[in-house]
Structure 1
């Protein structure tokens, strides 16, 4: 392959050297910040053998090239343009400037929650294993595995503690990540999280029960104020707001406190002020808002039923295109942390139906397309990848490009989502939203069975609709 020629063609197709603001690459993609994305010649890029797909997200225009090739094309681009490679953080920063306020907010949530996903996934999957050991009716009729084989009871109890730890102590994880994102000291954020889950406080899980039972809530009497001694275990919104306040106070103090006193005064005043304000009014207010959010979303899913699932399933893929789906991580985390009340997250099963639909549409395109070997190759690999939970190659490299597979995927996703909504399928863990996602699904109400049936329905409907649409006159030229 002539990498220099490929680089020249790419530069020409994206509007020339002057249209490149910043550029970098990852393992498979060119990550570009362009001054004007409207100058990009999508058709010209799609016809290049070296280009496997393109998409725009987070203020970056990304060109999928492939492992082992992207670095060589990028090196040629550097040589031609004379521009030095930017770091990933620099490209992100430049890309953020091209976002509107809402996009920046979604990106902020993504930056906070993506780093802590491994801990949440680990805890969630351990919940799935605990569910296998303790749920009745999986291996034995009306009995759980540990009821029949009590030698596994100790193991189940250990796994239950391991699984709950990331959710019970969730404010510590969020405090670290959010404070870092807001420009503060992440260890101060973690310390604030520890304060909010201190074992001397009434547990957040016991607080609603105490209110319902009419029991008195422990409190501090301070300056005529009664401040509840209630923790924030498993809470998302209170810790997010508290971390922002903490980082803001810390940054403000560092500007005015003399250097010789900075290490003493700044942490002390930041933690003391933020913790006091949080327990006084920020925490109770945001706790209530968090309850309303999780209860409201659960109500929509429970009572919206088939119609609610259908609408969400139809809209999920378009939401992914906008990037708004990254904000769902915060909502899912709260729903799963409150799974004893909410039953888990309804977003995960619907995300799975959407991912399976994108994969089925790409596989259908592989069968339908006859005269484009490059597209067939991308469609086959991307289709399998999407079934396993990675949808970008299928969505941006095949389905949106051909249009009719994307339409088929939306319809299939809607039908499959309506089915899982009908049977109230929910996830008790974050994980891979695709074929491997069974372990994340609650076994209650035959959740695993209906999750699997939902994927089968989604695949069949998507494939059938996509194949049928391919016979319409306006789509025939893509064959």
Structure 2
């Protein structure tokens, strides 16, 4: 018997018994259940279990926050429950039974972009570092940048673009690969499709606006413009889904004896042709509309209002899972405008949630048991992972969550009002400043200070003035 035995037995009982478990897996801090009947889970009793730090439902999965000991708890749980281990992919498939069409679409978007985040984080940091050494006049009384004075740093600046270009200009390759992998198509065909969208044979997407003449493929009866889709998101998504659709459907009707030859040929060639004649131009237009609307909204005279709404609403979006849709918008903004003014607000929302938890740590400083939840949650939040803080502390009490939303809103207005732009997405919380374009780092630091101070003070004020009776939970 271990310290996890009794809590595991309680969780099996309150989750509705092993018969109610369709699938179960875990991540870094949470147990993830797909339940046959979610209504059988007794949330109050589950949250009363000593090791449990909170619960929530997202993407069709009932998630129980355990903390850093989740891996050991999980092993004890599946042994007691008598259920087999489930991979994350299997759990996601099973979870579809509890989702509506909108939730399924959001889950698909999340599954597409999540594998790309490590590369996007690295790319954003590289672009930020290149801006610091290449664009800011730091030396000789503010007249020269570092690369203008040092040949070594000039070489570093040039070399790092090799990686930056691979991440962002060739982003469609990653997107089409990820879609093919997720939808059960051949990942290598996804890679080939992506390369056809960014081939050096094509006119670079960044050069289209200034091109005197666009080259074409001349088929006699028709001409197709040879335009590349470097850094374009929506054309790659549309092409990737078409490839996956054609390949998976062809596999069902083509005999196995000739499948290896026929399926790749009749899936890839039509997809590439349609991508360059129909999907690419449509995707480019739609992507431009979306990025123009978002950018214009944030930079208009009413940008502060848009920022206030987004800053206030982002944390609730995380609860629903709708926040995954912002990844595509961020990447489209980067493609169109060389940066994103949306991502800084997301990083600030992370910080605000963490600051509300810090206030709760101060208010409950004599509660040693809660510190075991709140301190790791605050640290995690400041590093960009908000779920433990939101579900373990802020939503549990209610008023800290509201304080964090107001703090996020205020910081977002400061950020957008100062025209802060990030190079890339992926680095959240306090490290988010590393993603900010060098010329905006000072104002982003001011916005960060707002996101730290306002939620902290509001949480304490709410606690002292009776708002502690307010709760988001029934």
CA distance in 1, matches of 2:444, 2:350: 13
Match of 1:62 in 2: 63
Structure 1 stretches of 4+ moved >6 Å: none
Gaps of 5+ in 2: none
1:260 equivalent to 2:257? Answer yes
1:456 equivalent to 2:457? Answer no
Give the C-alpha shift of residue 27 in structure 1. 4.4
Match of 1:176 in 2: 177
Match runs of 1:187-336 below 5 Å: 187-210=188-211, 215-303=212-300, 304-336=302-334
Give the C-alpha shift of residue 142 in structure 1. 4.2
Give the C-alpha shift of residue 398 in structure 1. 0.2
Match runs of 1:55-94 below 5 Å: 55-68=56-69, 70-94=70-94
CA distance in 2, matches of 1:431, 1:87: 25
Secondary structure at 1:200's aligned position in 2? coil
Secondary structure at 1:205's aligned position in 2? helix
Match runs of 1:351-430 below 5 Å: 351-369=346-364, 372-430=367-425
Contact 1:430–1:440 (Cα < 8 Å) also in 2: yes
CA distance in 1, matches of 2:90, 2:136: 52
* CA offset digits 1:297-333 (Å, max 9, x no partner): 1111111322221111001101111111112112222
Contact 2:32–2:62 (Cα < 8 Å) also in 1: yes
Give the C-alpha shift of residue 267 in structure 1. 1.5
Give the C-alpha shift of residue 2 in structure 1. 4.2
* CA offset digits 1:260-289 (Å, max 9, x no partner): 322222222222111111111111111111
Match of 1:105 in 2: 105
CA distance in 2, matches of 1:177, 1:157: 29
Contact 2:314–2:346 (Cα < 8 Å) also in 1: yes
Match of 1:440 in 2: 435
Secondary structure at 1:157's aligned position in 2? helix
CA distance in 2, matches of 1:23, 1:136: 51
Gaps of 5+ in 1: none
The structure 2 residue matched to 1:471, chosen from 464, 469, 473, is 464
* CA offset digits 1:175-203 (Å, max 9, x no partner): 11111122211101110111111111111
Q: CA RMSD in A?
A: 2.0
TM-score, length of structure 1 as denominator length: 0.92
Q: 1:370 to 1:172 in 2, by over 3 A?
A: closer
Q: 1:477 to 1:454 in 2, by over 3 A?
A: closer
* CA offset digits 1:376-428 (Å, max 9, x no partner): 33112211221121111111100000001001000000001110010011100
CA distance in 2, matches of 1:77, 1:156: 51
Range with greater deviation from structure 2 (168-177 or 22-31): 22-31
Match runs of 1:43-58 below 5 Å: 43-58=44-59
Q: 1:274 to 1:306 in 2, by over 3 A?
A: same
Q: How many residues align?
A: 468
TM-score, length of structure 2 as denominator length: 0.93
